[in-house]
Chain A
Amino acid sequence: MLDHIDLTVAKHEVVCLIGASGSGKSTLLRCLNMLERIEKGNIVVDGQSLTDGKVDVNALRRKIGIVFQAYNLFPHMTVLQNVMLGPRKVRGLPRDRSETIAHELLQKIGLESKAHEYPDRLSGGQQQRVAIVRALAMEPELMLLDEITSALDPQLVSEVLQLVRGLTEVGMTMIIATHEMGFAREVASKVCFLDGGRILEEGTPEQIFTSPTELRTRSFLARVLDAEKLA
Protein backbone atom coordinates (compact mmCIF):
# COMPACT_ATOMS: atom_id res chain seq x y z
CA MET A 1 0.00 0.00 0.00
CA LEU A 2 1.22 3.44 -0.91
CA ASP A 3 -0.08 6.63 0.56
CA HIS A 4 0.61 10.34 0.13
CA ILE A 5 3.21 9.90 -2.54
CA ASP A 6 4.09 13.18 -4.20
CA LEU A 7 7.06 12.91 -6.49
CA THR A 8 8.16 14.80 -9.57
CA VAL A 9 10.92 13.51 -11.79
CA ALA A 10 12.40 15.79 -14.42
CA LYS A 11 13.93 14.62 -17.67
CA HIS A 12 17.51 13.31 -17.26
CA GLU A 13 17.03 13.10 -13.54
CA VAL A 14 18.04 9.98 -11.64
CA VAL A 15 15.91 9.37 -8.58
CA CYS A 16 16.92 6.70 -6.11
CA LEU A 17 14.34 5.16 -3.81
CA ILE A 18 15.75 3.76 -0.61
CA GLY A 19 14.09 2.19 2.39
CA ALA A 20 13.55 -1.14 4.09
CA SER A 21 11.96 -4.11 2.34
CA GLY A 22 8.21 -3.61 2.24
CA SER A 23 8.47 0.16 2.44
CA GLY A 24 6.82 0.48 -0.99
CA LYS A 25 9.74 1.04 -3.37
CA SER A 26 8.75 -1.77 -5.73
CA THR A 27 5.08 -0.99 -5.51
CA LEU A 28 5.76 2.60 -6.50
CA LEU A 29 7.72 1.49 -9.56
CA ARG A 30 5.05 -1.06 -10.52
CA CYS A 31 2.37 1.63 -10.24
CA LEU A 32 4.28 3.80 -12.68
CA ASN A 33 4.13 1.02 -15.23
CA MET A 34 0.52 0.17 -14.38
CA LEU A 35 1.43 -3.31 -13.26
CA GLU A 36 -0.28 -2.46 -10.00
CA ARG A 37 -3.87 -1.26 -9.64
CA ILE A 38 -4.11 2.37 -8.61
CA GLU A 39 -7.02 3.07 -6.31
CA LYS A 40 -6.67 6.78 -5.90
CA GLY A 41 -4.40 9.54 -7.04
CA ASN A 42 -2.89 10.65 -10.28
CA ILE A 43 0.24 9.75 -12.19
CA VAL A 44 1.34 11.82 -15.15
CA VAL A 45 4.02 10.59 -17.50
CA ASP A 46 5.17 12.83 -20.29
CA GLY A 47 2.02 14.92 -19.99
CA GLN A 48 -0.24 11.89 -20.12
CA SER A 49 -2.34 10.86 -17.16
CA LEU A 50 -2.26 7.14 -16.38
CA THR A 51 -5.24 7.24 -14.15
CA ASP A 52 -7.97 8.87 -16.22
CA GLY A 53 -9.00 5.53 -17.75
CA LYS A 54 -8.42 6.66 -21.33
CA VAL A 55 -4.74 5.90 -21.49
CA ASP A 56 -3.41 3.34 -23.97
CA VAL A 57 -1.51 1.18 -21.52
CA ASN A 58 0.54 -0.58 -24.18
CA ALA A 59 1.60 2.68 -25.80
CA LEU A 60 2.58 4.07 -22.44
CA ARG A 61 4.61 1.02 -21.50
CA ARG A 62 6.61 1.44 -24.68
CA LYS A 63 8.00 4.65 -23.23
CA ILE A 64 8.80 3.14 -19.86
CA GLY A 65 11.31 0.36 -19.44
CA ILE A 66 11.30 -1.68 -16.27
CA VAL A 67 13.92 -4.12 -15.02
CA PHE A 68 13.06 -6.53 -12.23
CA GLN A 69 15.00 -8.00 -9.35
CA ALA A 70 14.59 -11.53 -10.73
CA TYR A 71 15.60 -10.55 -14.32
CA ASN A 72 12.46 -12.25 -15.74
CA LEU A 73 14.08 -13.11 -19.05
CA PHE A 74 11.95 -15.39 -21.21
CA PRO A 75 13.50 -18.83 -20.68
CA HIS A 76 12.24 -20.34 -23.93
CA MET A 77 13.92 -17.69 -26.07
CA THR A 78 17.58 -17.12 -26.76
CA VAL A 79 19.25 -13.96 -25.50
CA LEU A 80 18.90 -12.42 -28.96
CA GLN A 81 15.21 -13.32 -29.22
CA ASN A 82 14.61 -11.84 -25.77
CA VAL A 83 16.05 -8.51 -26.87
CA MET A 84 14.37 -8.61 -30.30
CA LEU A 85 10.85 -9.32 -29.07
CA GLY A 86 9.99 -5.74 -28.13
CA PRO A 87 11.34 -4.04 -31.26
CA ARG A 88 9.75 -6.68 -33.46
CA LYS A 89 6.30 -7.09 -31.94
CA VAL A 90 5.71 -3.81 -30.14
CA ARG A 91 7.61 -1.29 -32.24
CA GLY A 92 6.69 -3.28 -35.33
CA LEU A 93 10.15 -3.13 -36.87
CA PRO A 94 11.15 -5.67 -39.51
CA ARG A 95 13.07 -8.74 -38.42
CA ASP A 96 16.50 -7.71 -39.76
CA ARG A 97 16.26 -4.23 -38.27
CA SER A 98 15.24 -5.68 -34.86
CA GLU A 99 18.10 -8.13 -35.08
CA THR A 100 20.59 -5.35 -35.79
CA ILE A 101 19.33 -3.36 -32.82
CA ALA A 102 19.64 -6.40 -30.57
CA HIS A 103 23.12 -7.27 -31.81
CA GLU A 104 24.35 -3.72 -31.33
CA LEU A 105 23.04 -3.59 -27.77
CA LEU A 106 24.53 -6.97 -26.89
CA GLN A 107 27.83 -5.85 -28.33
CA LYS A 108 27.79 -2.76 -26.16
CA ILE A 109 27.47 -4.85 -23.02
CA GLY A 110 29.99 -7.43 -24.20
CA LEU A 111 27.52 -10.27 -24.47
CA GLU A 112 27.44 -10.61 -28.24
CA SER A 113 28.98 -14.08 -27.89
CA LYS A 114 25.98 -15.20 -25.84
CA ALA A 115 23.40 -14.03 -28.39
CA HIS A 116 22.30 -17.54 -29.27
CA GLU A 117 22.43 -19.01 -25.77
CA TYR A 118 19.39 -19.54 -23.61
CA PRO A 119 19.17 -17.42 -20.44
CA ASP A 120 19.76 -20.37 -18.11
CA ARG A 121 23.30 -20.67 -19.50
CA LEU A 122 24.19 -17.16 -18.29
CA SER A 123 25.30 -15.96 -14.89
CA GLY A 124 22.93 -13.79 -12.85
CA GLY A 125 24.87 -10.67 -13.71
CA GLN A 126 24.81 -11.47 -17.40
CA GLN A 127 21.09 -12.20 -17.28
CA GLN A 128 20.41 -8.92 -15.56
CA ARG A 129 22.44 -7.02 -18.15
CA VAL A 130 20.45 -8.71 -20.89
CA ALA A 131 17.25 -7.72 -19.09
CA ILE A 132 18.46 -4.11 -19.07
CA VAL A 133 19.18 -4.04 -22.79
CA ARG A 134 15.92 -5.84 -23.49
CA ALA A 135 14.23 -2.80 -21.94
CA LEU A 136 16.60 -0.40 -23.74
CA ALA A 137 15.73 -1.97 -27.09
CA MET A 138 12.36 -0.27 -26.77
CA GLU A 139 14.16 3.09 -26.65
CA PRO A 140 12.31 4.10 -23.49
CA GLU A 141 12.18 7.65 -22.20
CA LEU A 142 12.13 6.48 -18.62
CA MET A 143 13.75 3.46 -17.00
CA LEU A 144 12.53 1.91 -13.76
CA LEU A 145 15.03 -0.33 -12.01
CA ASP A 146 13.56 -2.45 -9.27
CA GLU A 147 16.33 -3.65 -6.94
CA ILE A 148 18.14 -5.08 -9.89
CA THR A 149 21.21 -6.17 -7.96
CA SER A 150 19.47 -7.66 -4.92
CA ALA A 151 19.41 -11.20 -6.27
CA LEU A 152 23.02 -11.14 -7.44
CA ASP A 153 26.15 -12.59 -5.90
CA PRO A 154 28.28 -9.72 -4.57
CA GLN A 155 31.00 -10.17 -7.20
CA LEU A 156 28.39 -9.79 -10.00
CA VAL A 157 26.90 -6.56 -8.70
CA SER A 158 29.51 -4.24 -10.14
CA GLU A 159 29.11 -5.33 -13.77
CA VAL A 160 25.42 -4.46 -13.56
CA LEU A 161 25.99 -1.17 -11.77
CA GLN A 162 28.62 -0.26 -14.35
CA LEU A 163 26.00 -0.61 -17.06
CA VAL A 164 23.56 1.58 -15.13
CA ARG A 165 26.28 4.15 -14.56
CA GLY A 166 26.71 4.28 -18.33
CA LEU A 167 23.01 5.06 -18.70
CA THR A 168 23.22 7.98 -16.30
CA GLU A 169 26.08 9.37 -18.37
CA VAL A 170 23.95 9.45 -21.53
CA GLY A 171 21.21 11.25 -19.65
CA MET A 172 18.65 8.47 -19.25
CA THR A 173 15.83 9.42 -16.90
CA MET A 174 15.66 6.75 -14.23
CA ILE A 175 13.91 5.84 -11.05
CA ILE A 176 15.96 3.29 -9.16
CA ALA A 177 14.86 1.29 -6.14
CA THR A 178 18.06 0.10 -4.53
CA HIS A 179 19.83 -1.19 -1.47
CA GLU A 180 23.23 -0.09 -2.80
CA MET A 181 23.73 3.09 -0.80
CA GLY A 182 27.12 3.89 -2.23
CA PHE A 183 25.74 3.63 -5.72
CA ALA A 184 22.68 5.72 -4.91
CA ARG A 185 24.91 8.40 -3.49
CA GLU A 186 27.05 8.40 -6.60
CA VAL A 187 24.42 8.49 -9.36
CA ALA A 188 21.32 10.02 -7.82
CA SER A 189 20.22 13.58 -8.45
CA LYS A 190 17.56 13.00 -5.83
CA VAL A 191 17.16 10.41 -3.10
CA CYS A 192 13.81 9.47 -1.55
CA PHE A 193 13.55 7.56 1.68
CA LEU A 194 10.38 5.46 1.79
CA ASP A 195 8.85 4.21 4.96
CA GLY A 196 5.48 2.50 5.40
CA GLY A 197 4.34 3.39 1.90
CA ARG A 198 5.20 7.08 2.16
CA ILE A 199 8.07 9.21 1.01
CA LEU A 200 9.28 10.25 4.43
CA GLU A 201 12.17 12.35 3.29
CA GLU A 202 13.64 13.45 -0.02
CA GLY A 203 16.63 15.50 -0.98
CA THR A 204 20.00 15.50 -2.67
CA PRO A 205 22.25 12.56 -1.89
CA GLU A 206 24.41 14.86 0.24
CA GLN A 207 21.44 15.90 2.36
CA ILE A 208 20.03 12.41 2.83
CA PHE A 209 23.27 10.59 3.46
CA THR A 210 25.11 13.16 5.57
CA SER A 211 22.41 15.07 7.41
CA PRO A 212 19.02 13.36 7.27
CA THR A 213 16.42 15.21 9.26
CA GLU A 214 14.06 12.34 10.01
CA LEU A 215 14.89 9.98 12.83
CA ARG A 216 13.72 6.97 10.83
CA THR A 217 15.96 7.86 7.92
CA ARG A 218 18.89 8.19 10.26
CA SER A 219 18.30 4.85 11.96
CA PHE A 220 17.72 3.13 8.60
CA LEU A 221 20.97 4.46 7.18
CA ALA A 222 22.86 3.60 10.35
CA ARG A 223 21.65 0.01 10.14
CA VAL A 224 22.43 -0.34 6.45
CA LEU A 225 25.86 1.24 6.66
CA ASP A 226 26.69 -0.93 9.68
CA ALA A 227 25.75 -4.02 7.73
CA GLU A 228 27.89 -2.88 4.82
CA LYS A 229 30.87 -2.43 7.11
CA LEU A 230 30.44 -5.93 8.47
CA ALA A 231 30.28 -7.31 4.97
Chain B
Amino acid sequence: MHALHQVIHTFFNPHSFTLAMPDVWAGFQVNLKMMFIAEALVLVFALMVAIVRGLPGRGAKPLRALAIAYTDFFRGTPIILVTFIVGFGLPGLQLGFISNRSFTVYGIIALTLVYTAYVSEVFRAGIESVHPSQRSAARSLGLSYGQAMRYVVIPQAVRRVIPPLLNDFVGLQKDTALVSVIGVAEAASLAQQFSTQNGDFPSYVVAAVFFILITIPLARFTDHLVAQREQRERAQAF
Protein backbone atom coordinates (compact mmCIF):
# COMPACT_ATOMS: atom_id res chain seq x y z
CA MET B 1 0.00 0.00 0.00
CA HIS B 2 2.81 2.34 0.87
CA ALA B 3 4.47 1.80 -2.49
CA LEU B 4 1.26 2.58 -4.38
CA HIS B 5 0.81 5.71 -2.36
CA GLN B 6 4.36 6.65 -3.19
CA VAL B 7 3.76 6.19 -6.91
CA ILE B 8 0.63 8.27 -6.87
CA HIS B 9 2.33 10.99 -4.91
CA THR B 10 5.37 11.10 -7.17
CA PHE B 11 3.57 11.10 -10.51
CA PHE B 12 -0.03 12.11 -9.93
CA ASN B 13 0.04 14.46 -6.96
CA PRO B 14 -3.00 16.57 -7.80
CA HIS B 15 -1.58 19.74 -6.36
CA SER B 16 1.61 19.56 -8.37
CA PHE B 17 -0.36 18.34 -11.39
CA THR B 18 -2.53 21.46 -11.44
CA LEU B 19 0.39 23.68 -10.71
CA ALA B 20 2.37 22.36 -13.68
CA MET B 21 -0.58 22.57 -16.08
CA PRO B 22 -0.30 26.23 -17.23
CA ASP B 23 3.45 26.12 -17.86
CA VAL B 24 3.36 22.84 -19.72
CA TRP B 25 0.31 23.93 -21.72
CA ALA B 26 2.13 27.07 -22.76
CA GLY B 27 5.02 24.89 -23.90
CA PHE B 28 2.67 22.57 -25.73
CA GLN B 29 1.52 25.46 -27.94
CA VAL B 30 5.05 25.43 -29.33
CA ASN B 31 4.77 21.70 -30.02
CA LEU B 32 1.49 22.24 -31.83
CA LYS B 33 2.97 25.01 -33.93
CA MET B 34 5.97 22.85 -34.85
CA MET B 35 3.71 19.93 -35.73
CA PHE B 36 1.43 21.82 -38.04
CA ILE B 37 4.14 23.72 -39.86
CA ALA B 38 6.41 20.69 -40.22
CA GLU B 39 3.53 18.48 -41.40
CA ALA B 40 2.48 20.95 -44.07
CA LEU B 41 6.06 21.28 -45.31
CA VAL B 42 6.61 17.52 -45.22
CA LEU B 43 3.54 16.87 -47.37
CA VAL B 44 4.78 19.20 -50.08
CA PHE B 45 8.46 18.23 -50.08
CA ALA B 46 7.87 14.50 -49.66
CA LEU B 47 5.58 14.44 -52.68
CA MET B 48 8.20 16.36 -54.66
CA VAL B 49 10.95 13.92 -53.68
CA ALA B 50 8.73 10.95 -54.53
CA ILE B 51 7.88 12.38 -57.95
CA VAL B 52 11.51 13.19 -58.73
CA ARG B 53 12.49 9.67 -57.76
CA GLY B 54 10.03 8.25 -60.25
CA LEU B 55 10.96 10.50 -63.19
CA PRO B 56 11.57 8.45 -66.34
CA GLY B 57 14.40 8.67 -68.80
CA ARG B 58 18.14 8.90 -68.74
CA GLY B 59 18.17 12.69 -68.51
CA ALA B 60 16.55 12.60 -65.09
CA LYS B 61 19.16 10.25 -63.68
CA PRO B 62 21.10 12.88 -61.69
CA LEU B 63 17.85 14.14 -60.16
CA ARG B 64 16.81 10.62 -59.23
CA ALA B 65 20.23 9.99 -57.68
CA LEU B 66 19.89 13.17 -55.66
CA ALA B 67 16.48 12.13 -54.36
CA ILE B 68 17.80 8.70 -53.41
CA ALA B 69 20.83 10.20 -51.65
CA TYR B 70 18.59 12.55 -49.73
CA THR B 71 16.26 9.79 -48.58
CA ASP B 72 19.12 7.49 -47.64
CA PHE B 73 20.87 10.16 -45.63
CA PHE B 74 17.94 11.45 -43.65
CA ARG B 75 16.36 8.07 -43.04
CA GLY B 76 19.66 6.72 -41.81
CA THR B 77 20.67 9.54 -39.50
CA PRO B 78 19.21 9.66 -35.95
CA ILE B 79 16.90 12.64 -35.70
CA ILE B 80 18.79 13.93 -32.69
CA LEU B 81 21.95 14.26 -34.78
CA VAL B 82 20.08 16.06 -37.54
CA THR B 83 18.74 18.38 -34.87
CA PHE B 84 22.24 19.12 -33.58
CA ILE B 85 23.58 19.67 -37.06
CA VAL B 86 20.76 22.06 -37.92
CA GLY B 87 20.34 23.73 -34.52
CA PHE B 88 24.01 24.31 -33.79
CA GLY B 89 25.45 24.15 -37.28
CA LEU B 90 23.26 26.68 -39.08
CA PRO B 91 23.81 29.47 -36.51
CA GLY B 92 27.54 28.71 -36.75
CA LEU B 93 27.43 29.43 -40.47
CA GLN B 94 26.78 33.10 -39.72
CA LEU B 95 24.66 33.43 -42.81
CA GLY B 96 22.31 36.31 -42.10
CA PHE B 97 18.84 35.07 -42.82
CA ILE B 98 19.40 31.44 -41.92
CA SER B 99 21.74 31.74 -38.94
CA ASN B 100 19.76 33.84 -36.50
CA ARG B 101 16.49 31.98 -36.35
CA SER B 102 14.86 30.75 -33.19
CA PHE B 103 15.41 27.22 -31.94
CA THR B 104 11.80 26.51 -32.81
CA VAL B 105 12.55 27.21 -36.46
CA TYR B 106 15.61 24.93 -36.37
CA GLY B 107 13.47 22.28 -34.75
CA ILE B 108 10.94 22.57 -37.56
CA ILE B 109 13.70 22.36 -40.16
CA ALA B 110 15.14 19.21 -38.56
CA LEU B 111 11.71 17.55 -38.35
CA THR B 112 10.94 18.48 -41.94
CA LEU B 113 14.24 17.14 -43.26
CA VAL B 114 13.88 13.79 -41.53
CA TYR B 115 10.17 13.20 -42.05
CA THR B 116 10.29 14.29 -45.69
CA ALA B 117 12.58 11.30 -46.23
CA TYR B 118 10.18 8.90 -44.51
CA VAL B 119 7.01 10.25 -46.06
CA SER B 120 8.52 10.40 -49.56
CA GLU B 121 8.96 6.63 -49.33
CA VAL B 122 5.30 6.33 -48.38
CA PHE B 123 4.29 8.42 -51.39
CA ARG B 124 6.59 6.45 -53.64
CA ALA B 125 5.01 3.19 -52.54
CA GLY B 126 1.62 4.74 -53.26
CA ILE B 127 2.62 5.90 -56.72
CA GLU B 128 4.04 2.49 -57.56
CA SER B 129 0.89 0.79 -56.34
CA VAL B 130 -1.20 2.46 -59.04
CA HIS B 131 -1.52 -0.15 -61.77
CA PRO B 132 0.52 0.59 -64.94
CA SER B 133 -2.66 0.19 -66.99
CA GLN B 134 -3.91 3.43 -65.45
CA ARG B 135 -0.88 5.23 -66.88
CA SER B 136 -1.38 3.53 -70.25
CA ALA B 137 -4.99 4.64 -70.27
CA ALA B 138 -4.05 8.20 -69.37
CA ARG B 139 -1.20 8.43 -71.86
CA SER B 140 -3.27 6.86 -74.61
CA LEU B 141 -5.77 9.71 -74.25
CA GLY B 142 -2.90 12.01 -75.14
CA LEU B 143 -2.12 13.28 -71.64
CA SER B 144 1.54 14.12 -71.15
CA TYR B 145 3.62 12.36 -68.49
CA GLY B 146 3.09 15.26 -66.11
CA GLN B 147 -0.66 15.41 -66.74
CA ALA B 148 -1.02 11.66 -66.30
CA MET B 149 0.76 11.92 -62.96
CA ARG B 150 -1.21 14.93 -61.85
CA TYR B 151 -4.72 13.89 -62.81
CA VAL B 152 -4.58 10.10 -62.73
CA VAL B 153 -1.68 8.61 -60.78
CA ILE B 154 -1.05 10.93 -57.85
CA PRO B 155 -4.69 11.41 -56.78
CA GLN B 156 -5.08 7.63 -56.55
CA ALA B 157 -1.69 7.21 -54.85
CA VAL B 158 -2.39 9.84 -52.21
CA ARG B 159 -5.76 8.32 -51.31
CA ARG B 160 -4.11 4.97 -50.78
CA VAL B 161 -1.31 6.14 -48.52
CA ILE B 162 -3.27 8.32 -46.12
CA PRO B 163 -3.23 5.72 -43.30
CA PRO B 164 0.55 5.07 -43.32
CA LEU B 165 1.08 8.78 -43.79
CA LEU B 166 -0.92 9.64 -40.68
CA ASN B 167 1.10 7.01 -38.85
CA ASP B 168 4.28 8.86 -39.71
CA PHE B 169 2.67 12.06 -38.54
CA VAL B 170 2.06 10.55 -35.10
CA GLY B 171 5.81 9.94 -34.98
CA LEU B 172 6.50 13.49 -36.07
CA GLN B 173 4.22 14.91 -33.41
CA LYS B 174 6.06 13.08 -30.67
CA ASP B 175 9.44 14.01 -32.06
CA THR B 176 8.65 17.69 -31.56
CA ALA B 177 9.67 16.93 -27.96
CA LEU B 178 12.93 15.35 -29.10
CA VAL B 179 14.14 18.32 -31.11
CA SER B 180 13.81 20.48 -27.98
CA VAL B 181 17.31 19.30 -26.98
CA ILE B 182 18.73 22.33 -28.78
CA GLY B 183 16.79 24.59 -26.44
CA VAL B 184 13.22 24.86 -27.67
CA ALA B 185 10.96 25.83 -24.78
CA GLU B 186 8.20 23.30 -25.47
CA ALA B 187 6.09 21.00 -23.29
CA ALA B 188 8.70 18.38 -22.45
CA SER B 189 11.49 20.80 -21.60
CA LEU B 190 9.20 23.04 -19.54
CA ALA B 191 7.96 19.93 -17.75
CA GLN B 192 11.57 19.09 -16.96
CA GLN B 193 12.22 22.56 -15.55
CA PHE B 194 9.13 22.32 -13.42
CA SER B 195 10.13 18.90 -12.19
CA THR B 196 13.60 20.07 -11.16
CA GLN B 197 12.21 23.03 -9.28
CA ASN B 198 9.58 21.02 -7.43
CA GLY B 199 11.41 17.77 -6.95
CA ASP B 200 8.53 15.66 -8.29
CA PHE B 201 7.29 14.34 -11.62
CA PRO B 202 3.60 15.13 -12.29
CA SER B 203 4.65 17.78 -14.80
CA TYR B 204 5.98 15.00 -17.07
CA VAL B 205 2.67 13.20 -16.84
CA VAL B 206 0.88 16.42 -17.75
CA ALA B 207 3.01 16.74 -20.88
CA ALA B 208 2.41 13.07 -21.73
CA VAL B 209 -1.35 13.59 -21.42
CA PHE B 210 -1.25 16.48 -23.87
CA PHE B 211 0.61 14.41 -26.43
CA ILE B 212 -1.73 11.47 -26.00
CA LEU B 213 -4.78 13.67 -26.30
CA ILE B 214 -3.84 14.76 -29.79
CA THR B 215 -2.47 11.38 -30.89
CA ILE B 216 -5.56 9.36 -30.03
CA PRO B 217 -7.97 11.21 -32.32
CA LEU B 218 -5.47 10.91 -35.16
CA ALA B 219 -5.04 7.19 -34.51
CA ARG B 220 -8.82 6.63 -34.42
CA PHE B 221 -9.24 8.64 -37.58
CA THR B 222 -6.61 6.46 -39.28
CA ASP B 223 -8.41 3.30 -38.10
CA HIS B 224 -11.64 4.71 -39.45
CA LEU B 225 -10.11 5.34 -42.88
CA VAL B 226 -8.65 1.85 -43.03
CA ALA B 227 -11.96 0.28 -42.03
CA GLN B 228 -13.79 2.37 -44.62
CA ARG B 229 -11.41 1.26 -47.35
CA GLU B 230 -11.72 -2.40 -46.37
CA GLN B 231 -15.48 -2.16 -46.45
CA ARG B 232 -15.39 -0.53 -49.84
CA GLU B 233 -13.06 -3.16 -51.24
CA ARG B 234 -15.14 -5.95 -49.83
CA ALA B 235 -18.24 -4.45 -51.41
CA GLN B 236 -16.44 -4.44 -54.75
CA ALA B 237 -15.46 -8.09 -54.43
CA PHE B 238 -19.10 -9.19 -54.38
**Residues of A bordering B, CB below 8 Å:** 30, 33, 35, 58-59, 61-62, 64-66, 68, 70, 72-76, 85-86, 89-90, 120, 134-135, 138
Contact = CB atoms under 8 A, between A and B. Distances in A.
B136 A135 contact: no
B236 interface: yes
Interface string B81-110: 000000000000000000000000000000
A59 B155 CA distance: 24
Contacts of B137: 68, 72-74
A9 B185 CA distance: 75
A76 B155 contact: yes
9 contacts: A33-B140, A58-B143, A61-B141, A74-B134, A75-B156, A76-B156, A134-B141, A135-B140, A135-B141
B139 interface: yes
Q: Say which size band chain B's interface belongs to.
A: 10 to 19
B136 A89 contact: no
A139 to B, nearest CB: 11
Contacts, number: 55
Contacts of B141: 61, 85-86, 90, 134-135, 138
Interface in B149-176: 151-152, 155-156, 159
B140 A70 contact: no
Nearest to B140: A66
B144 interface: yes
Interface of B: 133-134, 136-144, 147, 151-152, 155-156, 159, 236
A89 B147 contact: yes
A30 B139 CA distance: 12
Q: Which are the 4 A-B pairs with shortest beta-carbon distances?
A: A72-B137, A90-B142, A62-B142, A61-B142
Contacts of B156: 74-76
Given A74-B152, A120-B236, A89 B134 contact: no
Given A76-B155, A76-B159, A85-B151, A90 B134 contact: no
A90 B145 CA distance: 12
Contacts of B155: 76
Which residue among A33, A65, A74 has the maximum number of chain B CB atoms within 10 Å of its CB? A74
A65 B155 CA distance: 24
Nearest to A144: B140
A144 to B, nearest CB: 9
A106 B141 CA distance: 18
Nearest to A64: B140
Contacts of B236: 120
Given A74-B152, A75-B156, A85-B151, A138 B133 contact: no
A29 B229 CA distance: 35
A35 B136 contact: yes
A135 B152 CA distance: 16
B158 to A, nearest CB: 10
A89 B143 contact: yes
A198 to B, nearest CB: 24
Given A74-B152, A76-B156, A68 B142 contact: no
B134 A72 contact: yes
Contacts of A65: 140
Given A66-B140, A70-B133, 13 more contacts: A58-B143, A68-B133, A73-B137, A74-B138, A74-B156, A85-B143, A86-B141, A86-B142, A89-B151, A90-B141, A90-B142, A134-B141, A135-B140
Contacts of B151: 74, 85, 89
A62 B236 CA distance: 32
A90 B143 contact: yes
A72 B139 CA distance: 12
A35 B133 CA distance: 10
B50 to A, nearest CB: 18
Contacts of B138: 74
Contacts of B143: 58, 85-86, 89-90
A164 B43 CA distance: 45
